[in-house]
Amino acid sequence: MTEQIPGATKDRVTDYLMRHKRYDNIDGTTEMFFGMMYLAFAINSYVSPVLAKNSFFHLGFAGMLLVMSGIVIPVLCLGAWGGKVVKKHITWPRTGYMAPRKVTQPIAPLILFMLGTAVAAAGLFFVVRYARPHNAVMLPRIMGIAAFVATYAFLVSRLSKEHPWKRFVALFLADSLVVYAIARPGVSNAEFFQPVMIFTGLVWLASGGITLYLYIRRAQPPALESE
Amino acid sequence: MNKQVRTFSEVDRVIHEPGRLMIVALLFAVERVDFLYLLHETEMNKGTLSSHLSRLEEAGYVEIAKTFRGKIPQTLLSLTDSGRQAFEQYRRKLKGAL
């Protein structure tokens, strides 16, 4: 059968069904939120060691949670609130309002992901524990950098097809972190990751900021009688 | 009649039209959108989009609500349950035919 059915191919339907995900980051708010998240964790890692040694902030896991709730959660809330403000005052008046559908996700992939992460973490622990000293230091760094770069590359490849320059940002992020890892071999992992998180957060923020700037330049609010 | 051709002849003609298929597929993935969003995503002109939406509303596939965002009028659109079922059925038939 050779009948053409324009607009009705499976690929196009799949593309329409995925549009709302790309639209969610049309203004760069998702990237900026990730940037805030990295910066929040970086600030947290800088603050924790300088708190008084005998204070309750150092009471193991509970203390860690307390510090996190004082720093990470407020910064994340600020990021979420900022994203909503951008949507309400910039995005919706320009290209329209979209409320994503609340779909109950199947639980099996989540359980598989958590199991996979636990197995990977346990594997990494044993590799680091029994590896030679040099590898024990390098492995978490290599995996950390790979995870940071992969997160950016994955998200922008899915959400921003219309921004090819983001591939170069992903390359820039990867190159910079590898050069930094080579240039700073003699520090502890905690000291190593603090600037990495700040740099990664700033790259995410800059990427989101440029996306927002380009969006504002391209999309003008329509005349009031548009509906 | 060939089974594939018969399957094609049975697909929902309201949804099968390319413009309306685009609208229904866009609405299927979301809870609710406004007219401006559809205008931006479909790149249709206002008249064409309005006529497609009227056709879908007549068929009972789309619900249209007129509200205000501050002082600005806003048209909110969502797919009805029968619209969702019709689209799912359309996809199944299309998959079977292709």
Judged against a pLDDT cut of 60, whether residue A208 lies above it is answered with yes
Nearest one of A215, A214, A208, A148 to A178, comparing CA atoms = A148
Asked if residue A227 belongs to a domain, the reply is no
Q: Which residue of B has its CA nearest to A13?
A: B25
Asked if residue A30 belongs to a domain, the reply is yes
Domain that holds residue A127: 17-220
Mutate to test the interface with A, among B8, B16, B30 (most CBs of A within 10 A): B30
Please indicate whether, in this complex, the C-beta atoms of B21 and A6 are within 8 angstroms of each other.
no
State pLDDT tens for residues A27-67: 999 999 999 999 998 888 887 777 766 666 666 677 777 77
Q: What is the ipTM of this complex?
A: 0.85
Asked if residue A178 belongs to a domain, the reply is yes
Nearest one of A110, A106, A84 to A24, comparing CA atoms = A84
Nearest chain B Cα distance for residue A31, angstroms:
21
State pLDDT tens for residues B34-71: 999 999 999 999 999 999 999 999 999 999 999 988 88
Out of A8-17, A79-88, B16-25, least confident range: A8-17
A100 contacts in chain B (CB < 8 Å): 29-31
Q: Mean pLDDT highest for which of A27-31, A157-161, B11-15?
A: A27-31
State pLDDT tens for residues A162-197: 788 999 999 999 999 888 888 877 777 778 888 999
Secondary structure letter of residue A220 according to DSSP: P
Looking at residue A63, its pLDDT comes to 72
Q: What is the domain count for chain A?
A: 1
Asked if residue A7 belongs to a domain, the reply is no
Judged against a pLDDT cut of 60, whether residue A107 lies above it is answered with yes
Looking at residue A18, its pLDDT comes to 86
Asked if residue A4 belongs to a domain, the reply is no
B67 contacts in chain A (CB < 8 Å): none
Looking at residue A214, its pLDDT comes to 94
Mutate to test the interface with B, among A1, A4, A13 (most CBs of B within 10 A): A13
What domains sit in chain B, N to C, each tagged with a CATH number? 3-97 (1.10.10.10)
Burial B33-47 (b: 16+ CB within 10 A, else e): bbbbbbbbbbebeee
